[in-house]
Structure 1
Amino acid sequence: MKSEPLESGSRKREWITFFILAVMIWPFIAVGVVAGWGFIVWMYYLFTGPPGPV
């Protein structure tokens, strides 16, 4: 099995894909997950009341 070096165009396309995922998509996903968790906790406390002794 011979391993051939990546072509210049393939390397460029790989960097563009990495940039799009790392800088543009994953931050929005991370913020959405944290905001979704906050919303779930907020709704839970809305129905059950705040934590702590009564």
Structure 2
Amino acid sequence: MSEISTEQAPSQVPRSSRRRELITFLVLAFGIWPVVAVGVVGGYGFLVWMFQIIYGPPGPPGH
């Protein structure tokens, strides 16, 4: 009725693959993405700063 398969079931992930996936996740979660987030926020702040240097600070126009 049922055949014995040589393929691995999805729940039987090899230990080395699971370890590599965990290391990849940790590097992304605590290494690369924080650096990207700081870069994006810092880049936006820099753009706002440069815009205000050229066009002045926000607010009503001076008389």
TM-score norm. by structure 1 comes to 0.90
Q: Which runs of 5+ in 2 are unaligned?
A: 1-6
CA distance in structure 2 between the aligned counterparts of 1:16 and 1:37, rounded to whole angstroms: 31
Q: Choose from 34, 37, 44 the match for 2:41.
A: 34
Q: Which runs of 5+ in 1 are unaligned?
A: none
The answer on 1:15 being equivalent to 2:35 is no
| Percentage of matched positions with identical amino acids | 53
* Displacement over 2 Å in runs of 4+: none
Aligned alpha-carbon RMSD (Å): 1.3
TM-score norm. by structure 2 comes to 0.78
Higher relative contact order (CA 8 A, sep 6+): 1
